[in-house]
C-alpha cells in the first residue's frame, strides 16, 4: 500500500487544485459572457454561409486534409518508432539496424515537416483568398446601401467589419478549422495507438481526462470573460481615438488637451488591465495543463518503472522500457492538442461572431435599388418636376411637406430659405440618395424611379455643400478615374477659373491631396470640386452653396462661368448670398419644408414677401459694410 503513496499525493494535489478552480468558477458563473459572442444566427447557418465562400477552393482543402493526414500519422507513429529505437539500443544493439531505424524516423520527420510547411502556405493563401472575397462583397454591399441606411451605422463600425472581423474569419480558415480537425484526429489516433500498445497504462493516463475536461471548461468561461472585457475596451478606445483625432483642432483651440489626455489615460489603463487579465487567464491555464501533463508523466514513470523493475505491473502485464519511452512521448502528443483545442474554441467562437456581424450588414437590403424594368436614359433634356413630395429622414418628422415645382430644360433655379428649411434635402432626393415617402419626382416627364440609378446619376453633376476630396492627386480627384486628356482637364479648370490655382501648385495636376484634404483651403476645395463637376459635363448641374467659401473676386469669376453654363444645361443652386442668384430664371423660397413663394428676382421683390425681407436684410448689411 505504501508503495502507492506518491500516486495518492499527486491525486490529492490535483483534487485540491480542481476544487479551487471549481470554487472560482462558481463565483463568476452568473456573469454575462455573451458580449462579442452574442448571435442570432446558428453555428450551422453561419458555417453554411461561410461554406459558400470556401466551396470554390475545395481542391485546396482536399490537398490540405491529405497533407494533414501525413502529419497526423507522424504524430501517432513517431513515439512508437522512438520506442523501437530504445528497444534496439537496449537489446540487440546493432549499428546498422539503429541507423536504418533512425533514418526512417528522420525520414518521417522530414516528410511531416515538409507537409506542414506546404499545408500552412496553402492554408494562408486560401484563407486570404476567401477573406478578400468576403471583404470585397462586404464593401460592394456597403456601397449599395442608401444614404439613410449608412447614416444609421457609425463609420468606425463599418471599418471594423471590413477589416478586423474579416481578419477573424481569415484566421478561422487558415488556422482554426483545420487545426481543430487535426487536433481531434491526433487525440483519437494517439489514444488508439496507446490502447494498442498497452491499455492499462492508457487507462492510467485517462484518469487525468476528467480533470483536463474540468479545467478546460473553467478556462473557457474565464477566457470568454477576459476576451469580452478586452473587446469592450478595444472598441471603446477606438471610438474615442477616431472621434478625438477628427476633432483635435477643436480640442486644441479650446485648450482641452489635458482633459482629453486624462480621459485617454483612463481608457488606456482599462485596456491594459483587460489585456493583462487575458494574459493572466492564459498564464494560469497553460501551467495547469502542463502540471497535469507532468503529473501523468510522473505517474507513468512511477507505475511503469515499478512494473518494469519488478517484472510485473499493476494489472499483471509486463512493461518494457520501449513502452515507457513511447508512452512518455504519447502523453505529450495527447496533452498538446487538448490545450490547443481549448484555446482554438474561443478563436472559433469569436470568428463566428465576426462572420455574423459581417453577414448582418450583408443581409441589409439596400433601400434604394433599380426597379424592375428600369431603363437607361441616354439623352436628357433637363426638365425636372417635383409633385407633392413628402419626405422625412426618420419616421414622421417631415422635412419636406408637399413640395411641388417644375423646372423647364436649361432653366436656372435657385433655392433660398433659412438653415434647415430643406434645400439640401430637395437636391439629395433628386439624385435618389434618399427616397421620398410620398409624391413623385420626374425627369423629362419620367418618374426617376423608372430610370436606372447609375444612369440617372450620370446626367447629374453635383457640387455638394461639404466638399470632399479623396486622398490622391488633384488629377485623380478631378477625373475620378474616368479618362480625360490634360487639355480637357485644363479647359474645365479655366472654365471655373481654377486654372490659376492649378498653375500655382508646384506639381500642377499631380499635386498630392492628403487625407481629409488638409493641404487645401476650403475655397480651393470648392474650386476643385467645381472643376470636377464641369469636367464631367452633366446635363443637370446641382450646386449646393458652391460659392460659400470663395472670395468675392473669385465669385465674380465663377459667376461669369456660371452664366456661360446656364446656357448648357439645367442649373439648380442653393446660395445664402442672394447676389449670386439674382439672375436665376426662378427663385424658390423655402420655409420649414414648404414652398413659401416662387418667381424671379423682380417678381419676388414686388410681392414683398419672405424673399423681399431676406433681400432687404442682406442689402442693409452690405450697405453697413
Residue numbers of the site for ligand ATP (CB under 6 A)? 151, 393, 399, 417, 419-425, 465
| Binding flags for Mg ion, 367-406, as an x/- string (CB under 5 A) | ----------------------------------------
| Least distance between Mg ion and beta carbon 419 (Å) | 8
Q: What percentage of the chain's residues is helix, strand, coil (to nearest 5)? A: 70, 10, 20
H/E element, 333: helix 321-363
Q: Which does 558 bind (CB under 5 to 8 A by kind): ligand ATP, Mg ion, none?
A: none
Using the minimum distance from each CB to Mg ion, give the nearer residue, 147 or 465: 465
Q: Least distance from C-beta 71 to ligand ATP, angstroms?
A: 55
Interacting positions 317-376 with Mg ion (CB under 5 A): none
Q: What is the 3-state secondary structure (H, E, C) of 176-226?
A: HHHHHHHHHHHHHHHHHHHHHHCHHHHHHHHCCHHHHHHHHHHHHHHHHHH
Closest CB 465 distance from Mg ion, rounded Å: 5
Which residue, 87 or 422, has its beta carbon nearer to ligand ATP?
A: 422
Alpha carbon of residue 30 to chain centroid: 31
Distance CA 462, CA 597 (A): 25
Residue 246, classified by CB atoms within 10 Å of its CB into exposed (0-12), middle (13-18) or buried (19+), is exposed
Considering beta carbons, is residue 251 or 465 the nearer one to ligand ATP?
A: 465
Nearest approach, Cβ of residue 251 and ligand ATP (Å): 25
Closer to ligand ATP by Cβ: residue 111 or 614: 614
Binding partner at 393 among ligand ATP, Mg ion, none, C-beta below 5 to 8 Å by kind: ligand ATP
Judged by CB under 5 A, which of 424, 433, 526, 554 binds Mg ion? Answer: 424
Sole window of 7-15, 192-200, 417-425, 474-482 interacting with Mg ion (rule: CB under 5 A): 417-425
DSSP 3-state of 573: strand
Nearer to Mg ion, 303 or 573 (CB): 573
Which of ligand ATP, Mg ion, none lies near 399, with the C-beta cut-off 5 to 8 A by kind? ligand ATP
Least Å distance, CB 149 to ligand ATP, is 11
Whether the CA torsion 465, 469, 470, 474 is positive or negative: it is positive
For ligand ATP, which is the closer residue by CB, 446 or 576?
A: 576
Cα torsion angle, 152, 156, 158, 160, sign = negative
Select the binding partner of residue 420 from ligand ATP, Mg ion, none (C-beta < 5 to 8 A, by kind): ligand ATP
Phi and psi at 304, nearest 5°, equal -65, -45
**Three-state SS sequence of 141-173:** HHHHCCHHHHHHCCHHHHHHHHHHHHHHHHHHH
Count CA within 13 A, CB hemisphere, residue 286. Answer: 8
Buried b (16+ CB within 10 A) or exposed e, 591-617: eebebbbbbebeebeeeeebbeebbee
CA distance 130 to 278: 29
Least separation, in Å, of the C-beta of 280 and ligand ATP? 45
Measured from each CB, the residue nearest to Mg ion is 424
Q: Which of the residues 436 through 495 are near Mg ion (CB under 5 A)?
A: 465
Name the minimum Å distance from CB 544 to Mg ion.
6
> Whole-number minimum distance, CB 391 to ligand ATP, in Å?
9
Residue 36 vs 422, nearer CB to ligand ATP: 422
DSSP for 339-379?
Answer: HHHHHHHHHHHHHHHHHHHHHHHHHSPPSS-PPTT-B----
Question: Using CB distances below 5 to 8 A depending on partner kind, what does residue 127 bind out of Mg ion, ligand ATP, none?
Answer: none
Q: Tell the smallest beta-carbon distance from residue 595 to ligand ATP (Å).
A: 13
Number of residues lying near Mg ion (CB under 5 A): 2
Which residues of the shown chain bind Mg ion in the complex (CB under 5 A)? 424, 465
Amino acid at each position: 500500500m505504501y508503495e502507492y503513496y506518491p500516486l495518492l499525493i499527486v491525486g490529492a494535489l490535483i483534487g485540491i487544485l480542481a476544487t479551487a478552480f471549481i470554487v472560482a468558477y462558481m463565483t463568476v458563473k452568473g456573469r454575462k459572457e455573451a458580449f462579442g459572442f452574442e448571435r442570432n444566427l446558428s453555428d450551422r447557418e453561419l458555417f453554411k454561409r461561410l461554406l459558400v465562400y470556401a466551396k470554390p477552393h475545395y481542391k485546396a482543402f482536399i490537398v490540405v486534409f491529405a497533407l494533414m493526414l501525413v502529419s497526423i500519422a507522424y504524430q501517432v507513429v513517431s513515439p512508437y518508432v522512438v520506442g523501437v529505437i530504445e528497444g534496439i539500443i537496449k537489446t540487440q544493439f546493432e549499428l546498422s539496424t539503429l541507423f536504418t531505424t533512425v533514418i526512417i524516423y528522420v525520414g518521417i520527420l522530414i516528410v511531416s515537416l515538409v507537409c506542414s510547411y506546404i499545408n500552412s502556405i496553402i492554408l494562408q493563401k486560401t484563407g486570404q483568398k476567401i477573406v478578400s472575397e468576403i471583404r470585397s462583397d462586404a464593401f460592394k454591399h456597403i456601397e449599395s446601401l442608401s444614404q439613410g441606411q449608412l447614416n444609421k451605422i457609425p463609420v468606425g463600425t463599418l471599418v471594423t467589419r471590413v477589416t478586423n472581423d474579416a481578419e477573424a474569419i481569415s484566421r478561422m480558415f487558415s488556422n482554426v478549422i483545420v487545426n481543430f480537425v487535426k487536433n481531434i484526429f491526433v487525440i483519437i489516433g494517439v489514444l488508439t495507438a496507446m490502447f494498442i500498445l498497452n491499455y492499462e497504462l492508457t487507462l492510467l493516463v485517462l484518469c487525468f481526462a476528467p480533470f483536463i475536461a474540468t479545467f478546460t471548461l473553467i478556462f473557457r468561461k474565464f477566457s470568454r470573460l477576459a476576451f469580452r472585457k478586452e473587446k469592450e475596451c478595444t472598441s471603446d478606445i477606438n471610438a474615442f481615438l477616431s472621434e478625438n483625432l477628427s476633432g483635435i483642432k477643436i480640442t486644441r483651440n479650446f485648450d482641452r488637451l489635458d482633459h482629453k489626455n486624462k480621459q485617454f489615460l483612463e481608457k488606456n489603463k482599462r485596456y491594459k488591465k483587460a489585456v493583462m487579465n487575458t494574459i493572466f487567464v492564459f498564464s494560469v491555464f497553460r501551467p495547469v495543463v502542463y502540471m497535469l501533463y507532468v503529473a501523468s508523466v510522473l505517474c507513468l514513470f512511477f507505475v511503469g518503472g515499478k512494473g518494469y523493475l519488478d517484472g510485473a505491473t499493476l494489472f499483471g502485464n509486463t512493461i518494457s522500457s520501449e513502452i515507457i519511452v513511447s508512452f512518455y512521448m504519447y502523453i505529450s502528443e495527447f496533452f498538446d492538442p487538448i490545450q490547443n483545442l481549448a484555446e482554438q474554441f474561443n478563436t472559433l467562437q469569436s470568428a463566428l461572431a465576426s462572420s455574423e456581424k459581417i453577414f448582418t450588414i450583408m443581409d441589409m437590403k439596400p433601400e434604394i435599388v433599380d426597379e424592375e424594368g428600369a431603363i437607361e436614359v441616354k439623352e436628357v433634356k433637363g426638365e425636372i418636376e417635383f409633385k407633392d413630395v413628402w419626405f422625412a429622414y426618420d419616421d414622421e418628422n417631415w422635412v419636406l411637406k408637399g413640395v411641388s415645382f417644375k423646372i423647364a430644360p436649361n432653366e436656372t433655379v435657385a433655392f433660398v430659405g433659412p438653415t434647415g428649411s430643406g434645400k439640401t434635402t430637395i437636391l439629395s432626393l433628386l439624385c435618389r440618395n434618399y427616397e421620398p415617402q410620398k409624391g413623385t419626382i420626374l425627369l423629362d416627364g419620367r418618374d426617376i424611379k423608372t430610370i436606372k440609378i447609375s444612369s440617372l446619376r450620370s446626367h447629374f453633376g453635383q457640387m455638394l455643400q461639404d466638399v470632399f476630396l479623396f486622398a490622391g492627386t488633384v488629377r485623380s480627384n478631378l477625373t475620378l478615374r474616368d479618362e480625360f486628356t490634360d487639355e480637357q482637364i485644363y479647359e474645365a479648370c479655366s472654365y471655373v477659373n481654377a486654372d490659376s490655382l492649378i498653375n500655382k501648385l508646384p506639381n500642377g495636376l499631380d499635386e498630392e491631396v492628403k487625407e481629409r484634404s488638409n493641404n487645401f483651403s476650403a475655397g480651393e476645395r470648392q474650386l476643385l470640386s467645381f472643376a470636377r463637376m464641369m469636367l464631367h459635363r452633366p446635363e443637370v448641374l446641382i450646386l449646393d452653396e458652391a460659392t460659400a467659401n470663395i472670395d468675392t473676386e473669385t465669385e465674380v469669376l465663377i459667376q461669369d462661368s456660371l452664366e456661360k453654363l446656364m446656357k448648357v444645361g439645367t442649373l439648380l443652386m442653393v446660395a445664402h448670398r442672394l447676389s449670386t442668384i439674382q439672375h436665376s430664371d426662378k427663385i424658390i423660397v423655402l420655409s420649414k419644408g414648404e414652398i413659401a413663394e416662387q418667381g424671379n428676382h423682380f417678381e419676388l421683390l414686388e410681392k414683398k414677401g419672405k424673399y423681399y425681407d431676406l433681400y432687404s436684410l442682406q442689402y442693409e448689411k452690405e450697405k453697413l459694410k
